[in-house]
């Protein structure tokens, strides 16, 4: 049996490399954002028993191209770039590592909030263009504003004390979270999304991309927001209807947006967001810090090797468990 783990990307943190080598596994790498044909070639060449999914899409053709593949481990929490059903059809568990990059992503969400609210981008561009835009400028204080968190997972939970430290009033909507979590965090709970949106000056997205959440911020829901509200997205680009967001910003209904993820990554060179100064953008790097990369890489490698070697993996970490019910992979985990 091959002892190779294929990383979809050109690198992984040295601590993760050391862990793999110490456990007797070799790592193979791809260029950034490999397409399906390249992934198929690399899987056949290496005979990899596991994939560490960092960049790009893992479609059914890639997943089905090698009979040796036994597990896919996501370098992070979001698994919407992986065909979960195709993996399940071959009995391949898809693992995730939520929480390992939570602090880094929460910090980035906060940075985007400040950049948009304080209009850092346009002011910086004005200075570089030879303008002094102080006359007539009126900024906005963060303290006292209401922030609405859509989703209350690990990243949102890390953001709560940071936001509160700036004087923000924190509230959230998450139909899947235990109501006791809101009490423990002292966060106002909204059972209804529209209620949260209507009472939020800043909305920060922290939910997974699913059929239920795709386009959750659209023309109708954006219209519910107060005049001058701000949108922050460090989750997944597909949560937002791009044309609706652009219209809301250009009409002045929203004062701006801070985006770290996009429906298509990288976005095309003619994407209209690129010419809108009120939208601050970063290339999906919220969780890409030295500290988070070490935690995420090590955890993603560790959990993949645990499964390969027959050790129990927490059921909640198997993203396609609902599709794998009754499979040998699940039975093995239940008896390990």
Given CA atoms 234, 239, 245, 246 in this order, what sign does their dihedral have? positive
The DSSP output letter for 61 is H
Verify whether residue 250 is a known catalytic residue: no
Pairing assessment for the beta strands 229-233 and 202-205 based on DSSP bridges: parallel
Helix (H, G, I), strand (E, B) or coil at 336: coil
Q: Which of 236, 295, 317, 321 is catalytic?
A: 236
Determine whether 265 is an active site residue: yes
Angle at 257 between CA 184 and CA 188, to 5 degrees: 20
Alpha helices in 26-96 (DSSP H): 36-46, 60-63, 84-89
Contact (CB, 8 A) for 96 and 79: yes
Q: What is the separation, in whole angstroms, between the first and last Cα of the chain? A: 21
Is 236 annotated in the active site? yes
- Say which residues have a Cβ less than 8 Å from residue 129's Cβ, sequence separation at least 6: none
- Which of 23, 90, 146, 265 does the annotation list as catalytic? 265
The answer to whether 206 and 152 have CB atoms below 8 angstroms apart is: yes
CA distance 198 to 142: 18
Specify the pairing of strand 50-53 against strand 71-74. parallel
Both tokens of 221, joined, read: 């829901």
Which residues are marked as active site? Answer: 236, 265, 284
């Amino acid at each position: 049996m091959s002892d190779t783990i294929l990383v979809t990307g050109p690198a992984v943190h040295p601590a993760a490399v050391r862990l793999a080598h110490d456990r007797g596994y070799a790592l193979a790498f791809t260029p950034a954002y490999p397409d399906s044909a390249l992934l198929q070639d690399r899987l056949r060449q290496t005979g990899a028993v596991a994939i560490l999914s960092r960049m790009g899409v893992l479609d059914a053709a890639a997943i089905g191209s090698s009979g040796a593949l036994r597990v896919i481990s996501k370098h992070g929490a979001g698994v919407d770039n992986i065909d979960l059903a195709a993996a399940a059809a071959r009995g391949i568990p898809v693992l995730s590592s939520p929480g390992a990059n939570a602090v880094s992503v929460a910090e980035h969400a906060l940075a985007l909030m400040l950049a948009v609210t304080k209009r850092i981008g346009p002011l910086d561009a004005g200075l570089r263009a030879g303008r002094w835009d102080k006359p007539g400028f009126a900024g906005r204080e963060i303290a006292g504003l209401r922030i609405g968190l859509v989703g209350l997972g690990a990243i949102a939970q890390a953001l709560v004390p940071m936001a509160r430290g700036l004087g923000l009033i924190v509230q959230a909507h998450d139909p899947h979270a235990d109501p006791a979590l809101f009490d423990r965090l002292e966060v106002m709970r909204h059972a209804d999304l529209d209620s949260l949106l209507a009472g939020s000056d800043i909305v920060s997205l922290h939910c997974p991309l699913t059929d239920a959440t795709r386009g959750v911020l659209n023309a109708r829901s954006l219209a519910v927001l107060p005049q001058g509200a701000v949108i922050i997205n460090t989750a997944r680009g597909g949560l937002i209807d791009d044309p609706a967001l652009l219209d809301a910003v250009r009409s002045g209904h929203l004062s701006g947006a801070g985006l770290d993820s996009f429906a298509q990554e990288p976005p095309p060179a003619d994407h209209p967001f690129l010419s809108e100064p009120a939208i601050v953008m970063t290339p999906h790097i919220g969780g890409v810090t030295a500290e988070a990369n070490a935690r995420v890489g090590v955890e993603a490698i560790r959990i993949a090797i645990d499964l390969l070697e027959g050790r129990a993996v927490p059921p909640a970490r198997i993203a396609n468990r609902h599709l794998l019910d009754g499979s040998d992979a699940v039975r093995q985990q239940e008896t390990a």
